């Protein structure tokens, strides 16, 4: 089987370690990911605020390129990219006139039949069947799996079953030997794109998330979204000021945490690239691979 990979901008920039850890885990399990050639921006939050057609066409181009490359399935690790690609696919599949219009914009044929996988769908489908033989360091700690907004909304494209109480990431962490906690802020807003313009709002919203996780004894927070990661990790100084207390729970990408349990080195997983240090809590991190 061939599995495509759509990085989007974050995984090449601020969240390089998300991409690195995904590839490291996949490689460990003998799975190859093929990057979609000549992919373009998903439109992110900008396009759909400006022009609806553009917001549908940008992801559509990437989907069409994946088809052209002969990929039946692609993994999209960024939550925002997932949301845009899945929305675009949904809209095009529902209406043939839209499909024709978008095809004329992008100058490519588009069936929109490519299956789009979130990172946790990918892990469950391809890594789970073989994972047990590679998991060497059970994480043995309480983790708070944080899903944010874009995986559970809107309902039509939600990649999870129980949108009010998602469990998909919890399943992955349980596989990695951690104990996912039951907490209240799984799908609350982190402040998202306000990270640049209204850092105060982000500090308030992300602060509540971190506080609840801490109060319920979480030793790490697991995310699957670059934006969430930025807000919970990079904005920690502002959060500390807002909460008026020092909470040092590290924030890991789900692929990093799984990679740690597989004994993949810190360097390869990029766990040393975060603002909040990870090594004190994730004690089983292997510095160098044997």
Partner 1 sequence: MARIGVFICHCGENISATVDVAKVAEKAGKLSGVAYSVDYKYMCSDPGQTLIIESIKKHRLTGIVVAACSPRMHEATFRKAAEKAGINPYLCEMANIREQVSWVHPKSDATTQKALDIIRTLVEKVKKDVALFPIKVPVTKTALVIGGGIAGIQAALDIANAGHQVIMVEKKPSIGGHMSQLSETFPTLDCSQCILTPRMVEVAQHPNITLHTYAEVESVSGFIGNFDVKIRMKAKSVDISKCTGCGACWQKCPTKKIPNEFNEGMGFRTAIYSPFPQAVPNKPVIDREHCSWFTKGGKCGVCKKTCPTGAIDYDTQDEFIDVKVGAIVTATGFDLKHADFFPEYGYGKFKDVIDGMQFERLASASGPTAGEIRRPSDGKIPKKIVFVACAGSRDKAKGIEYCSKVCCMYTAKHAMLYKHKNHEGKAYVFYMDIRAAGKNYDEFVRRAVEEDEVQYIRGRVSRIYEKDGKLIVKGVDTLMNSEPVDIEADMVVLATAVVANIEAESLAQKLHISYDKHHFFAEAHPKLKPVETNTAGIMLAGACQSAKDIPESVSQASASASKVIGLFSSNELTREPIVAVVNRQAPPNFTSCTGCLLCMEVCPYHAIEKEEIKDRAGNLIKVAAKVNAGLCQGCGTCVAMCRNKSIDIQGFSNDQMMSEVMALLNA
Residues 6+ apart with CB under 8 A from 105: 53, 57, 60
Rounded to whole angstroms, the Cα distance separating 249 from 245 reads 12
**Helix, strand, or coil (residue 137):** coil
8 A C-beta contact, residue 179 and residue 141: yes
User: If we measure between CA atoms, which residue out of 229, 268, 213, 216 comes closest to residue 79?
Assistant: 229
- Output the smallest distance, CB 83 to partner 1, in A: 17
- Output the smallest distance, CB 201 to partner 1, in A: 12
- Output the smallest distance, CB 284 to partner 1, in A: 30
Starting at the edge strand found earlier in the chain, the sheet holding 179-180 runs 179-180, 142-145, 220-223, 251-253
Question: Where would I find the H helices in 29-142?
Answer: 44-50, 52-68, 79-94, 96-106, 119-122, 128-131
CB neighbours (10 Å) of residue 84?
A: 28
CB closer to partner 1 out of 10 and 231: 231
CB closer to partner 1 out of 10 and 152: 152
User: If we measure between CA atoms, which residue out of 128, 120, 222 comes closest to residue 178?
Assistant: 222
- Output the smallest distance, CB 189 to partner 1, in A: 10
User: What is the β-pairing status of strands 3-5 and 73-75?
Assistant: parallel
- Output the smallest distance, CB 162 to partner 1, in A: 5
8 A C-beta contact, residue 78 and residue 225: yes
CB closer to partner 1 out of 135 and 158: 158
- Output the smallest distance, CB 146 to partner 1, in A: 14
8 A C-beta contact, residue 80 and residue 47: no
- Output the smallest distance, CB 70 to partner 1, in A: 37
CB closer to partner 1 out of 108 and 158: 158
Task: List residues binding partner 1 (CB under 8 A).
Answer: 155, 162-165, 183-184, 188, 212, 215
Residues 6+ apart with CB under 8 A from 73: 1, 2, 3, 4, 114, 115, 117
CB closer to partner 1 out of 63 and 86: 86
């Amino acid at each position: 089987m061939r599995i495509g990979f759509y990085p989007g901008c974050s995984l090449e920039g601020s969240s390089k370690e998300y991409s690195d850890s995904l590839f490291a885990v996949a490689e460990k399990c003998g799975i190859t990911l093929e990057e979609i050639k000549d992919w373009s921006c998903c439109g992110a939050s900008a396009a759909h605020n400006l022009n609806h057609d553009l917001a549908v066409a940008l992801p559509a181009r990437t989907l069409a390129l994946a088809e052209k490359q002969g990929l039946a399935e692609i993994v999209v690790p960024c939550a925002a990219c997932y949301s845009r690609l899945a929305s675009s696919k949904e809209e095009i599949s529902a209406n043939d006139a839209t499909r024709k219009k978008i095809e004329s914009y992008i100058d490519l044929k588009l069936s929109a039949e490519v299956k789009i996988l979130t990172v946790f769908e990918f892990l469950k489908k391809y890594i789970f069947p073989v994972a047990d033989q590679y998991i060497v360091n059970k994480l043995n700690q309480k983790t708070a799996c944080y899903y944010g907004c874009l995986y559970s909304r809107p309902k039509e494209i939600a990649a999870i079953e129980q949108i009010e109480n998602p469990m998909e990431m919890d399943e992955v962490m349980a596989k990695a030997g951690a104990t996912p906690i039951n907490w209240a802020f799984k799908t609350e807003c982190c402040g998202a794109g306000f990270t640049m313009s209204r850092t105060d709002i982000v500090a308030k919203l992300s602060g509540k998330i971190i506080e609840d996780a801490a109060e319920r004894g979480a030793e790490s927070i697991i995310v699957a979204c670059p934006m969430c990661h930025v807000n919970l990790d990079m904005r920690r100084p502002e959060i500390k000021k807002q909460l008026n207390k020092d909470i040092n729970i590290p924030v890991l990408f789900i692929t990093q945490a799984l990679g740690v349990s597989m004994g993949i080195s810190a360097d390869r997983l990029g766990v040393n690239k975060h603002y909040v240090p990870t090594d004190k809590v994730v004690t089983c991190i292997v510095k160098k691979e044997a």
